[in-house]
Amino acid sequence: MMALMEREETRTVDTRTAMSPTERDTAATSTPETAPGAGRTRAWATRLVVVGIVLSAVNLRPAITSLGALLEEVRDGLGMSGSVAGLLTSVPPLCFAVFGITAPRLARRFGPAAVVCAGMAAITAGLLIRPYLGNTAGFLAASALALMGIAVSNVLMPVIVKRWFPDRVGSMTGLYSMALALGTSAAAAVTVPLTDALGGRWQSGLAVWAALAGAAVLPWLPLLKDRYGETAPARPRQRRTEEPHPGEQGAPLRITRSRTAWALAVFFGLQATAAYITMGWMPQIFRDAGVPAGTAGVLLAVTMVMGVPLAFVIPRVATRLPHQGPIVLVLGACGLAGYAGLYVAPAAGAWAWALLLGVSNCAFPLALTMVGMRARSGPGVAQLSAFAQSTGYLISIPGPLLVGVLYQHSGGWGLPIALMTGLMLPQMAVGFLAGRNRTVEDEATR
């Protein structure tokens, strides 16, 4: 055995001696990361990640907007009051806040791909069973299961983008946001026609979206072994000559010390409040104004579909600006105009108000982009994303519930629309502050 090892060692030395100086340099610097096979593996994995991001994003809102299109039928079928229906529209931000904060810890233990894969499976199961449980408590519990999957995926999408595409944060965030808007608008537009085509039962119209969520599980399955991003594109290794920045590995980031993190969290919460009020209640506003149910669903779809082109454009523009505050102000002005129109002439100008509110709702992809821009490192983005989204969704919980209570007790939409208008003003203010050119790592050390 020793003789064989000696001959093998001699053969290796002879082979290296026969190499030219260039070949020896190449062999010395070659690593598994730079080998051709590893390059092909990374390219294949990168394509899977892109497909997974797009399919996952498409499934992050149909659980909510499909319910908004059939809310009246679900209320009648389950015997819900207006206040309980308002509670139902508040469940999404509650779940996002509670479960979203666990996403970074789960990602560290199992890997982001595995957590997103599990999240898509939870969405599939929740959407499949919730229409058939037969009571409000079961419907809420199954909705919470689906929303748990959405919550962890919400938080980890910016992390995955930062890890796999560090030099294309704007364009990949735009692609992700565009796919999210497409899924949101599609669910709003076709849920009612699908329900009619499937026999007119609201249960079938809601359950059909489980098939789309099931398809989003598949791209992540081959990536389950990639717990720590081994197949992610390699970054140049640099010798450390100084202490690590907060947020990098080994240097925990005290995120609550950052004013920008708090501004971003409040901005995220207020834009989420507006979005979930819109998704949960806007079809009902139009229906109460005399708009047919099918048209009301299409109007919600128009609002959501505005995010398809703008969600791709806004992040790319935002990453080129030193201050994203002006974009925040433009989006807020569109929201104020849309709410004013809903109050004055909800049916007569329905299409215009739907378009304006659709532009305003693009504060969501802007907020995601700012999460990626306000932190330098991947761990910093993970902490900021979890903090901003979980805190923001906690802030957004009372909004849809309060709208339901005001609607039930006032008998009209005047007070709820006044509430929406009032919340838009602080959203514009904190969004302007969050858009300043600074990072949470720098603020956390002061």
Mean pLDDT, residues 10-27: 44
Distance between CA atoms of residues 193 and 197, nearest Å = 6
What is the model's pTM?
A: 0.68
Chain centroid offset of residue 19 CA:
52
pLDDT given at position 248 = 47
pLDDT of residue 76: 80
- The pLDDT confidence band at residue 398, using thresholds 50, 70 and 90, is confident
Burial degree of 28 (CB within 10 A; 0-12, 13-18, 19+): exposed
**Which segment of 23-27, 52-56, 58-62 scores lowest on mean pLDDT?**
23-27
Higher pLDDT, residue 227 or 124 = 124
In terms of Cβ atoms closer than 10 Å to its own Cβ (0-12, 13-18, 19+), residue 316 is middle
Question: Tokens 């100084």 label which residue?
Answer: 242
109-118, 169-178, 187-196, range with greatest mean pLDDT: 109-118
What pLDDT shows up at residue 352? 94
Judge whether residue 163 has pLDDT over 60: yes
Examine the pLDDT at 61 and tell me if it is beyond 60: yes
Q: What is the pLDDT of residues 399-432, one digit of tens each?
A: 877 888 888 888 889 999 999 999 999 999 999 9
Whole-number Cα distances in Å, 238 to 90, 125, 133, 228, 250: 47, 45, 56, 19, 16
Instruction: Give which of 172, 169, 152 is closest to 393, Cα–Cα.
Output: 152
Mean pLDDT of 239-264: 64
pLDDT at residue 8, rounded to an integer: 40
22 vs 331, more confident = 331
- Residue 20: predicted pLDDT: 47
**Residue 239 pLDDT > 70, yes or no?**
no
Q: What number is the average pLDDT over the span 234-251?
A: 45
pLDDT recorded at residue 393: 82
Q: Is 86 helix (H, G, I), strand (E, B) or coil?
A: helix
Judged by average pLDDT, the poorest of 21-30, 230-239, 279-288 is: 21-30
Give residue-wise pLDDT tens across range 127-151.
999 888 878 888 888 988 999 999 8
Q: Which residue did the predictor score with more confidence, 97 or 127?
A: 127
| Number of residues that this document lists for the chain | 446
Q: What is the pLDDT of residue 264?
A: 94
| CA–CA distance, 328 with 429 (Å, rounded to integer) | 9
Structural tokens at position 396: 């957004």
pLDDT score at 39: 61
